[in-house]
Structure 1
Amino acid sequence: MMFKLYKQMLKVWLLMLCGISSASASSLDWTTFKQRFMAPDGRILDSGNRNISHTEGQGFSMLFAVGANDKTSFDKIWGWTHSHLKDQKSGLFYWRYNPVIADPIEDKNNASDGDVLIAWALLKAGQRWNHKPYLTESDRIVRAVLNHTVIDFAGRKVMLPGRSGFTAQDSITLNPSYFIFPAWRDFAERSYLANLWTLIENSQQLMTDIDWGQHRIPTDWITLYADGKTAPATKWPARVSYDAIRIPLYMKWDRADNPLLGRWQSWFSGYSRLKTPAWENMANHEIANYPMRGGLLAVRDYTMNQLSSDATKVRASDDYYSASLKLLAALANDGF
């Protein structure tokens, strides 16, 4: 009798486990994503930007492959990234690859979020597949990021968007959507480097201290002045838009109780879900004449604790970036 009961309990447990695994797999629509945006050699095509490639897309897709337990695709993406984008001198990666010009690496700068994403994906891969070379490479990239893009300015430790082009005599330009808090925390917990913990604390405080705009949320690009004040960067419209949408995603992914999420929820709740504008200018309150769709809406839903599995499905209407935001929201929601 007891053996029969044990078998029934085991069967229920296995069914529950399969259900959980299947739900997790279905929430990450990796198969559709790679069919649409991944070339056979591992290059990720930005369909919304003339099929160029960049470290953001390579890093995102490496993360997705780890989340989907797809080591074959991971190795292809990482192999292409290392072969075509690695800057051997700095240890960072050239941010952009355009296959239709004579020199595909026309701009030799890096994008620090791309470097962080690649390093984070390697860390996750090394842990998931127990592969030490991934971990070693991740550690090297993290050290390069710290050496070349993390600086002390205005009494804070901050990460520049790239190693060149973002500093002036009395100010620096920052992109807060590059503050990938869950990655930084994973790096800090692995290495115990004090400057990583300081980077996390100072970047959180930087956004806490924003006192401009109705909702006090950062625009896509901001300026940090030597006196510690911030403002929307003048070279770009003062919009909360396609870059800044990643900020609440990374915040919540790192800490679901982050008090700054309330500012984003306040902004989103000012509109009905399907009428939330794709962007808003925080200087003049101009809003886009079209609503959030696709991946933008998925991040909004995740931030508002309203994310459904249907919202993270990659559809024909999604370009590379929209699909990426959907898969990022799915990973974050699954606690990856």
Structure 2
Amino acid sequence: MTSLALASGSPLAAAAQPGTLSAAVIPGNHPLQQAWTAWKTLCVTPEGRIIDGPQDAVSHSEGQGYGAALATLFGDVETFERIYAWTEANLAVRSDALLAWRWRSTEMPHVNDRNNASDGDLFYAWALVSMGRLMGRNDLIVRATDIARDLARTCIVTHPDGSGALLFLPAEVGFDFDGGYVLNPSYIMPRAMREVAHVTGISDLDAAGQTGVMMIEALAQSGLVPDWVAITANGLSTPPPRFSFDAGYEAIRVPLFAVWSGNPQSQAVARYLAAVQANSDVAGSITVFDRASGRPKEVSNDPGYQAVSGLVYCAATTGFGAPIPQFSTNQPYYPATLQLMSLVAQAEMYPKCVPL
């Protein structure tokens, strides 16, 4: 078992400062609106359900949260309202304020597992606080506050080492074991956690986000940040066998979210870029790396994955222009969403990284 220390003195602890709220919305006349329209055609039903086609056309709280957040960033109130209405009617079925993580059209009941997914809840709350402030909708702020409060109650726990550091669990149920927890580094979206905490007053979200950033930086000291990791009183280690320790489809969000949160100099970003550049002769975009060696294990031609590496490279270096391909609907929900997020982050925060 590989053991990694979670250093409390990580340089990222000081860098993770409370951020300002998202005030920028992609203007209605911005060229990126065309990509937003295309993404909606690919992923959003008239009722407001975001469909993950390759996953048996299911819907999940992740997709609903991503869709609501993107609708807010694009100032698309009508689409936001449809996504919000569908989500409230179909996923807000728990006894608390959180969302059930998955909805299947082919099963009755459509929700057969009421466990939540904390990243879906987080992005959904981020969308609600952002749209609530943009539109002066206090009801959205209240709903987001309820979500944040229940996230803190059910999915934030203290570090097993007794330090009092707060950890962000992937869900209420299923990620604890004797002596520790299993965590997903890509569930840490520092900017969203800061902003939701700022608006709702649920400060534990920001604190857990800061611990998450320190965890990510500690992991990056010895290799690529993995999809999943175990944490015990002794530190970070390989997770149980059913959880991937590769740097794969989950972990690709880590450098994207670091850059989108204003931290392109993250060690996790540097590790990811080094692995991409070391395999520059590989055709396509590497979607799964062996964590320790950096060798590629899976490759995709979907442009969304290239968009992430292109943005991250430009944001972390001194060059101008980024090799971000034109948005395409000829790809599934997940890479299409990563591509749109990359384009939004570029337009909002990295003007030097104009797509080439």
Shift, 1:292, TM fit: 5.5
Instruction: Please give the secondary structure, in 1, of the residue aligned with 2:296.
Output: coil
Q: Which residue of structure 1 lines up, in the alignment, with residue 318 of structure 2?
A: none
- 5 Å-filtered alignment, 1:152-231, equals 152-154=158-160, 155=163, 156-210=165-219, 213=222, 216-231=223-238
User: Quick check: 1:247 aligned with 2:254?
Assistant: yes
Q: Residues 259 and 37 of structure 1: is their aligned pair in 2 closer, same or farther, counting only changes over 3 Å?
A: closer
The one-letter code matched in structure 2 to 1:57 is: G
- Deviations for 1:23-59, whole angstroms, at most 9, x for unmatched residues? 7442661111111221111111111111110011111
Q: Distance in 2 between matches of 1:291 and 1:102?
A: 34
Task: Say if 1:312 and 1:330, in contact at 8 Å, map to a contact too.
Answer: no
- Deviations for 1:131-175, whole angstroms, at most 9, x for unmatched residues? 221111111111111111011023331111000010011121111
User: Quick check: 1:139 aligned with 2:148?
Assistant: no
Q: Which residue of structure 2 lines up, in the alignment, with residue 38 of structure 1?
A: 44
Task: Say if 1:210 and 1:230, in contact at 8 Å, map to a contact too.
Answer: no
Q: Residues 37 and 152 of structure 1: is their aligned pair in 2 closer, same or farther, counting only changes over 3 Å?
A: same
Aligned residues: 314
Q: Residues 230 and 105 of structure 1: is their aligned pair in 2 closer, same or farther, counting only changes over 3 Å?
A: same
Unaligned runs of at least 5 residues, structure 2: 1-25, 316-320, 350-356
1:262 to 250, 263, 270: 270
Q: Distance in 2 between matches of 1:106 and 1:209?
A: 37
Instruction: Please give the secondary structure, in 2, of the residue aligned with 1:272.
Output: coil
Q: Which residue of structure 2 lines up, in the alignment, with residue 324 of structure 1?
A: 337
- Deviations for 1:67-124, whole angstroms, at most 9, x for unmatched residues? 2221111101100000100134121100000010122111111000000011001111
Q: Distance in 2 between matches of 1:166 and 1:150?
A: 12
Instruction: Please give the secondary structure, in 2, of the residue aligned with 1:172.
Output: strand
The one-letter code matched in structure 1 to 2:328 is: V
Q: Residues 86 and 109 of structure 1: is their aligned pair in 2 closer, same or farther, counting only changes over 3 Å?
A: same
Q: Distance in 1 between matches of 2:50 and 2:261?
A: 26
- Deviations for 1:172-223, whole angstroms, at most 9, x for unmatched residues? 111111111110011232245442332122111112222675xx23211111
Q: Residues 48 and 66 of structure 1: is their aligned pair in 2 closer, same or farther, counting only changes over 3 Å?
A: same
The alignment-based identity, stated in percent, is 25
1:87 to 90, 93, 108: 93
Task: Say if 2:304 and 2:335, in contact at 8 Å, map to a contact too.
Answer: yes
Larger helix proportion, structure 1 or 2?
1
The one-letter code matched in structure 2 to 1:130 is: G
Q: Which residue of structure 2 lines up, in the alignment, with residue 297 of structure 1?
A: 306
The one-letter code matched in structure 2 to 1:169 is: D
Structure 1 vs Structure 2 CA RMSD = 2.4
Instruction: Please give the secondary structure, in 1, of the residue aligned with 2:199.
Output: helix
Q: Residues 244 and 159 of structure 1: is their aligned pair in 2 closer, same or farther, counting only changes over 3 Å?
A: same
- Deviations for 1:281-310, whole angstroms, at most 9, x for unmatched residues? 225655235345321111111111177596
Task: Say if 1:153 and 1:226, in contact at 8 Å, map to a contact too.
Answer: yes
TM-score for both structures, normalised by structure 1: 0.86
Q: Distance in 1 between matches of 2:29 and 2:93?
A: 39
Q: Residues 107 and 284 of structure 1: is their aligned pair in 2 closer, same or farther, counting only changes over 3 Å?
A: farther
The one-letter code matched in structure 1 to 2:312 is: T
TM-score for both structures, normalised by structure 2: 0.81
Unaligned runs of at least 5 residues, structure 1: 1-19
Q: Distance in 2 between matches of 1:257 and 1:245?
A: 14
Task: Say if 2:285 and 2:301, in contact at 8 Å, map to a contact too.
Answer: yes
